[in-house]
Chains A and B, each alone.
Chain A
Amino acid sequence: MKIEAKNLGFRYDGYPWLFRNVDLTIQPGEIVGLKAPSGYGKTSLCKILAGYEKPVEGEVLLNGEPINSKGFHPVQLIFQHPEKAVNPRWKMDKVLNEGWRPDQSLLDLLGIEKEWMTRWPNELSGGELQRFCVARALGPDTKFLIADEMTTMLDAITQAQIWHAVLEIVRERNMGMIVVSHEEKLVQRLCHRVINLDEITSRM
């Protein structure tokens, strides 16, 4: 699925523009890095693309069509802070199966242990929790993935394992993906090209 941002502009009420005139197109199967200084609005842009936030100007198109706001959103976002992305009052099995039921092979691919299912989110380490968020985002209807500092909380071996797993799924389903990461070396490894947000936008 092709994703397009057309003339996007965003500001929080009463604050200056974070960005304006953002145009970008990402083809199915393309893995693109997104870079900008801290606080520049990368996460806000990701939220708009994933439908969590409405743009103040412009629109997001999927295969040329505006996104249907009802039902499952085909663009899934995985955040930097897993502890903020899960309901603290739900046990992990409920968190995991919120949108769909991941099969065992995906859980194995991501190294999710059965034993973790009966725990509360605050009984898991940051890295363990993030694996659940990754699994949850990879439902069958997900067409586009946005990874916002997805593996910064993980050790290098687990990072490599999860990225190899995600790349396998992304390639197999010919999904597109945006990777937001401050780790230059990781972006170089993963991405076909890199977009510098501060070069394609004006903040006027």
Chain B
Amino acid sequence: MPILEVEDLSISFKQYTSKWQQETLTVISGLDVVLEEGEILAVVGASGSGKSLLAHAILGILPGNAIQSGTIKYKGETLTSARQEELRGSEISLIPQSVNYLDPLMRVGKQVRASAKSGDPVTLQRDVFEQLHLQEGVENLYPFQLSGGMARRTLLSTAMVSGAKVIIADEPTPGLDPVVIKEALKNFRAFADQGCAVMLITHDIESALTIADKIAVFYAGTTMEIAPVENFKGKGEALRHPYSKALWNALPQNGFTPIPGSQPQSNALPPGCLFAPRCPIATPACGEARPEMRELRDGKVRCIHED
């Protein structure tokens, strides 16, 4: 059963280029993604492709100047901003990418306890700190006294004690050592196995492969491919989209080969396929229209040529 459904989501910003001229930055367009109960969906892809904004849209915390269209459903119910506010931190919990979200003036143990909605907050907080290898004294520290990795584990703890049904984890693991990453990921898996769900936004594809069920690959504000984790192996032959393959082959363990160029700018998106300017197998037809998402070999792809 889907627990979270995002349908045809678009997000844009109006930006003044001069005193009188405004331009529209389209940062997410035509994005569909579904999160099922009991599932971990990893979201990987280009930096700046809209992964964090998707997370913020689901939570209803986009900045005031953002223009949003499309629908987001939680357990089949279309979300309004009032409903999003109710769900935030209770049913749906965000682990934010930026460690600036910690309250600089509150001891971290207290911050984590404040998120616990049921059970004994102190026990919950101490248990999760222990699981994530945060030593006893850490609960009494202020954020500025934490190392980067400790700050990140504090953010993780906050979500884990919250009793939420859905965790949206935005880059929860960078800078953590392998032992702690494993612990954190094990926690996510256990959480999903209880019938909850996790959207794991990450650049660490290798770790994601160890716990996720499916992987959504983002580029230029939309999903290029949704693939079962087993497809990420070898030279990426089983993957469906040329961008997914390029991403896979750029990993240090898989060749470390970057493709040239960069993601298109949000004020100048190409008319056809968003990947066409960098695609090694593009044909003139690719420039004509945005490819639709279509089913292919128990996954989905937005490319007219793959079969």
Contact = CB atoms under 8 A, between A and B. Distances in A.
A154 B47 contact: yes
B61 to A, nearest CB: 13
Contacts of A80: 148, 174-175
A98 to B, nearest CB: 20
A81 B176 contact: no
Interface string B242-253: 000011101111
Contacts of A43: 147-148
Contacts of A164: 258
A149 to B, nearest CB: 5
A17 to B, nearest CB: 15
A39 interface: yes
A126 B171 CA distance: 10
B252 A183 contact: yes
B147 A126 contact: no
A38 B147 contact: yes
Contact of B98 (A126, A160, A184): A126
Interface residues of B, number: 44
A64 interface: no
A63 interface: no
Contacts of B98: 81, 83, 126
Interface in B128-151: 133, 145, 147-150
Contacts of B45: 155
Interface residues of A, number: 39
Contact of A115 (B149, B248, B251, B265): B265
Contacts of B52: 125-126
Contact of A156 (B48, B180, B203): B203
Interface of B is mostly: loop
Contacts of A125: 47-48, 52
A196 B262 CA distance: 36
A154 B203 contact: yes
A39 B149 contact: yes
Nearest to A162: B258
A189 B256 contact: yes
A157 B258 contact: yes
Contacts of A113: 262, 265
Contact of A185 (B46, B145, B181, B253): B253
Interface string A141-155: 000000001001111
A159 interface: yes
Contacts of B46: 155, 157-158
Given A39-B149, A152-B203, A153-B203, A83 B171 contact: no
Contacts of B100: 83-84
Contacts of B250: 155-157, 159-160
A126 B97 contact: yes
B131 to A, nearest CB: 14
B98 to A, nearest CB: 5
B258 A37 contact: no
B174 A186 contact: no
B168 to A, nearest CB: 16
Given A115-B265, A126-B47, A185 B252 contact: yes
Contacts of B133: 38
B83 to A, nearest CB: 26
B159 interface: no
Contacts of A111: 262
Question: 10 tightest A-B contacts by CB?
Answer: A127-B47, A152-B174, A160-B258, A156-B250, A125-B48, A185-B253, A38-B149, A185-B252, A161-B258, A38-B177
Interface of B: 44-49, 52, 97-100, 133, 145, 147-150, 171, 174-181, 203-206, 246-248, 250-253, 256-259, 262, 265, 267
18 contacts: A38-B133, A38-B149, A38-B175, A83-B98, A83-B99, A84-B100, A111-B262, A113-B265, A126-B97, A149-B148, A152-B174, A153-B47, A153-B171, A153-B174, A155-B44, A156-B251, A186-B252, A190-B252
